[in-house]
Structure 1
Amino acid sequence: MRFRDEGDAITYIFRSLRRLRDVERGPDELARDVTPTRRLLTATGLLDAAGAREYAVVTGSKGKGSTTAITAKLLEHLGHSTGMVTSPHLVQYRERIRVNGRMIPEADFIRILDDLAPEIDRIEAEFTGTQYFSPQGIFLAIALQWFNEQEVTAAVLEVGRGGRFDDIAVVPNRLSLFTPILLEHVVQLGRSLDRIAWHKAGIIKPQSFAYSVPQAAEVLDIVQAEAEALDAEFAWIAPTDMAELVRRTPEGMILRLGRYGEMALSQHGIYDLENATLAVQGAGNMHGRLSGVPHASEAYVEAIRAGLADVRWPGRMQKLQESPAVWLDGATTVRAARYMLESLDGDLRDPVIAIIGTPIDRDYRGVYQAFAPHVSRIILTDSAINPNIRFPAPEAALAAARAVHDQVEYAPNLATALDIARRAAEADGTVLMAVTLPLVGEAMLLYGLTFEQI
């Protein structure tokens, strides 16, 4: 066996990209190339085998992972063996690949990569200049082989940041799901909303289906045009058709959605009303091309209700402790920050301390401003765990935060920030961790949490 353990395997998967760590990379349309991934999947027969199952590909700027997880759980409860690919991971890389909620075992992860490595090496040997093998493409190949072995009939895959030049989009998905599309990753995707929408619309395949939550007018125009050009059926879910919040519960929320009536969703984020609505539509579309209970049956309704109650998507509006109350969410946009606060409306106990870790390619000033009126103190932090995610310099971040709040400090890492925040909140207060996903993963490690099964 070429690889001793998961760490050894991960080093190999990222070796091609790491050779370019000091190379300035431009927009995705120039820097990214899915050809190596397509060659690998074709040479190993994985692309041909991929046509035997139903795929949904999920893109957007916020809620991709939640929508992926909810859609997969609904399909599972509808009786389908369901695969899932998400990124980034929180604690272990293998979290990115799951079947029926279970993370791929380490032994199988290593074994499959060992089988793929000779072909990866052959493809890499032909690289010139700044060509590289996308780690995401290798993860996708491992996932497809694992799905074959586990006889997966439906799979839901989350793209990385864009779509048109994303390795995930190589699969023959007959369904595309669009969560809210916002201004993000402007260096890689472009500095306008319509350009970002163009990147994300690239996941749509000819003669397929696409669903979207409400979007800005220019976003809908771009996605609609892409669908029409490919003879694909596109529908956006009107705000009046969205799930409604009935009440919050200690376990999550009670929502109301169409013929399903009132039902439990085991998530706390108010944004998951949109995600759940989109997931119900998506799962229904995929189920229609698979064998199983009829859509019109009571059994179908009960499966959807059971699936929503069974969803577990860690690190998204998750309560980590009671005293002080510590809430964790990947809220790195202004919209997400507002959703986090809205999700806890009436439940914030003073003093409220915010730990904020927003990357430089997001509107970090706007995020600070969104939290400022609702908190007693702001603690800024960052992380070097993912070299592809950059944060504003501490001096710049402090200046921006102090412009909207007079109690601001910087902590060099999340552990220090959390220690300061918990002491400041005392037993009866609240700590809000609004941080990017690698920092969400660090928080999970600090609390000793892992996610073999979700």
Structure 2
Amino acid sequence: MELMSLSDWLSWLEQNHPREIDLGLARISVVAKRMSLLEPRAKVVTVAGTNGKGSCVTATAALLRTAGFSTGVYTSPHLLRYNERIVVDGEPASDDEICSAFNTIFAACQLADELSADPISLTYFEYGTLAALEIFRRHGVDAIVLEVGLGGRLDAVNIIDADVAVITSIALDHTDWLGDNRELIGFEKAGVMRAGRPVVCADAFPPESIANHAKKTGAKLYLIGCDFGYLQSAEQLWTWWDSSHRFDDQSAPQLPLPSLAAALKVVLLLGLDLAKIDAFQCLAKLRMPGRFQQLLWRERKIIFDVAHNPAATSYLLTRLQESQLLSGPIHAVVAMMVDKDRSESLSNLSGVVTRWYLADLGAVPRAASVLEMQKTLAALGCAVGFNGSVADCLEAAYQASKPDDLIMVFGSFYTVAAGLQAIGSPL
């Protein structure tokens, strides 16, 4: 195994475990204990939620680094390279670092001890989680920011007790795994809470299961709109406040305000001085690939957004309205996963998209077929103008558009990644 390249490792991991998703903490906890990873010396922030997790993670990590903390960040999925998932002080882990960590994990899985007499099989995501924790330990980081992959209660990152937990939002997604209503999904997300420790919730209308679980576990719950919050003005300014602080008329950031408001509360709870670290200037400079990312390509403005569920496409529409980008024709290149609510997601944008281009992600097993996407759009009364690869769709959109038109690429991380590669844009 030690001779394997990162691509070899990832190919092996895709086939290693019998199930792609295998929720539960028992197996990974045994391996983590063998590796002495369960009690990191660093401060830990765990971020759960349906949408906005990535923005909150990025903002929290940026604020910690601005304050002088060496910081490890674990996120998923990646856009172009697996290494994006494991970042130390702004730099993705190298292939060699990740392979070395994978080798250590594999060896720990093979041990026979009082915890397990048989070899332990872990999923692709579980290997990644342990690799991140191992790399962070080797670097001796001061702070770790972990993004939950699915749910919270049974997600691999939940083997670690967070010093501060975050729940960004609760919406219907992954219903086969988490439940078909917000109360059930909220309960799963609330699993990242710990007794006596703070949890920050950025959902303006959280399900009762969030407060109920906080009360049951003894976690200290901070709710947006009650314990902290923000106000947005029309002059590209915003105000952030909590019970002890107020910062008026700060430069508005590009990333979602609820997620950034939560990040500010998190770092305050960790003892940072927002004025001293110039927190609001730090946030105003943040950009994330695939999050309302605006690029100019061959005299065409393109927006890339990983929006892939109804709540996310609703927010995408809001961003388009706020940015005054609805005045001209919109050419939408889209591909989605088969397990997403395609009808509700696309209906949010059906009234503003002029022409649809359906991208074929046939190499992705979970992707909805072009025919399935066509049926969804037909039911919404939308005609499809073209279908093909993401690159072909972009070329068709370019040929059919004018310089003042907008091209939009959205629907999944896979779609956005293929779009960025097609126009030759680096992260």
Assess same fold via TM > 0.5. Answer: yes
What does residue 305 of structure 1 align with?
Answer: 280
What does residue 203 of structure 2 align with?
Answer: 214
The amino acid across from 1:224 in the alignment is A
Partner SS for 1:169: helix
Counterparts of 1:226 and 1:12, CA distance in 2: 38
What does residue 184 of structure 2 align with?
Answer: 195
Q: 1:84 aligns with which of 58, 73, 85?
A: 73
The amino acid across from 1:342 in the alignment is T
**CA contact under 8 A between 1:394 and 1:410: conserved in structure 2?**
no
What does residue 32 of structure 2 align with?
Answer: 41
Q: 1:230 aligns with which of 214, 217, 239?
A: 217
The amino acid across from 2:250 in the alignment is M
Deviation at 1:90, TM superposition (A): 0.5
Count residues with an aligned counterpart.
Answer: 417
The amino acid across from 1:233 in the alignment is K
What does residue 342 of structure 1 align with?
Answer: 318
Counterparts of 2:61 and 2:425, CA distance in 1: 22
* Alignment of 1:318 onto 2:318: no
Deviation at 1:125, TM superposition (A): 8.6
Partner SS for 1:260: strand
In the TM superposition, what whole-angstrom CA distance separates every residue of 1:110-159 from its partner, at most 9, and x where no partner exists? 222223321123479936xxx84122222122212221222211111101
5+ long unaligned stretches in structure 1 = 22-27
Counterparts of 2:228 and 2:165, CA distance in 1: 19
Counterparts of 1:386 and 1:399, CA distance in 2: 19
Gap change, CA 1:2 and 1:208, over 3 Å in 2? same
In the TM superposition, what whole-angstrom CA distance separates every residue of 1:388-428 from its partner, at most 9, and x where no partner exists? x342x433422331233443245243122222222222322
* Alignment of 1:360 onto 2:338: yes
Counterparts of 2:210 and 2:319, CA distance in 1: 29
What does residue 139 of structure 1 align with?
Answer: 128
What does residue 395 of structure 1 align with?
Answer: 371
Counterparts of 1:34 and 1:237, CA distance in 2: 30
Deviation at 1:223, TM superposition (A): 1.2
* Alignment of 1:439 onto 2:415: yes
Deviation at 1:264, TM superposition (A): 3.4
Deviation at 1:106, TM superposition (A): 1.7
Gap change, CA 1:415 and 1:263, over 3 Å in 2? same
* Alignment of 1:126 onto 2:115: no
Deviation at 1:13, TM superposition (A): 3.2
Deviation at 1:61, TM superposition (A): 0.8
What does residue 6 of structure 2 align with?
Answer: 6
Gap change, CA 1:279 and 1:382, over 3 Å in 2? farther
What does residue 25 of structure 1 align with?
Answer: none
Gap change, CA 1:360 and 1:240, over 3 Å in 2? farther
In the TM superposition, what whole-angstrom CA distance separates every residue of 1:233-273 from its partner, at most 9, and x where no partner exists? 0121118954334458xxxx643324333333552x5xx11
Gap change, CA 1:401 and 1:114, over 3 Å in 2? same
Deviation at 1:448, TM superposition (A): 3.0
The percent identity for this pair of structures is 23
**CA contact under 8 A between 2:109 and 2:121: conserved in structure 1?**
no
The amino acid across from 1:228 in the alignment is K
In the TM superposition, what whole-angstrom CA distance separates every residue of 1:22-50 from its partner, at most 9, and x where no partner exists? xxxxxx7xx423222111111111223x1
**CA contact under 8 A between 2:153 and 2:192: conserved in structure 1?**
yes
Q: With structure 1 as the length reference, what TM-score do the two structures score?
A: 0.85
**CA contact under 8 A between 1:197 and 1:222: conserved in structure 2?**
yes
Counterparts of 1:223 and 1:107, CA distance in 2: 41
The amino acid across from 1:275 in the alignment is S
What does residue 15 of structure 1 align with?
Answer: 15
Partner SS for 2:194: coil
Partner SS for 1:374: coil
Counterparts of 2:69 and 2:188, CA distance in 1: 31
**CA contact under 8 A between 1:243 and 1:276: conserved in structure 2?**
no
Following TM superposition, the consecutive aligned residue runs of length 4 or more in structure 1 with deviations greater than 4 angstroms are none
Counterparts of 2:418 and 2:42, CA distance in 1: 35
**CA contact under 8 A between 2:358 and 2:373: conserved in structure 1?**
yes
The amino acid across from 2:238 in the alignment is L
Deviation at 1:178, TM superposition (A): 0.7
The amino acid across from 1:9 in the alignment is W
CA RMSD of aligned residues (A): 2.5
5+ long unaligned stretches in structure 2 = none
Gap change, CA 1:240 and 1:356, over 3 Å in 2? farther
Gap change, CA 1:450 and 1:36, over 3 Å in 2? farther
**CA contact under 8 A between 1:398 and 1:410: conserved in structure 2?**
no
The amino acid across from 1:316 in the alignment is R
Q: With structure 2 as the length reference, what TM-score do the two structures score?
A: 0.90
* Alignment of 1:381 onto 2:335: no
Describe how 1:398-437 pairs up with structure 2 within 5 A. Answer: 398-409=374-385, 411-437=387-413
What does residue 230 of structure 2 align with?
Answer: 243
What does residue 265 of structure 2 align with?
Answer: 281
What does residue 24 of structure 1 align with?
Answer: none
In the TM superposition, what whole-angstrom CA distance separates every residue of 1:134-189 from its partner, at most 9, and x where no partner exists? 22222122212221222211111101121111000101112111111111111111
Deviation at 1:73, TM superposition (A): 0.6
The amino acid across from 1:373 in the alignment is G
Q: Which has the higher helix share?
A: 1
Q: Which has the higher contact order (CA 8 A, sep 6+)?
A: 1
The amino acid across from 1:32 in the alignment is L
**CA contact under 8 A between 2:171 and 2:311: conserved in structure 1?**
no
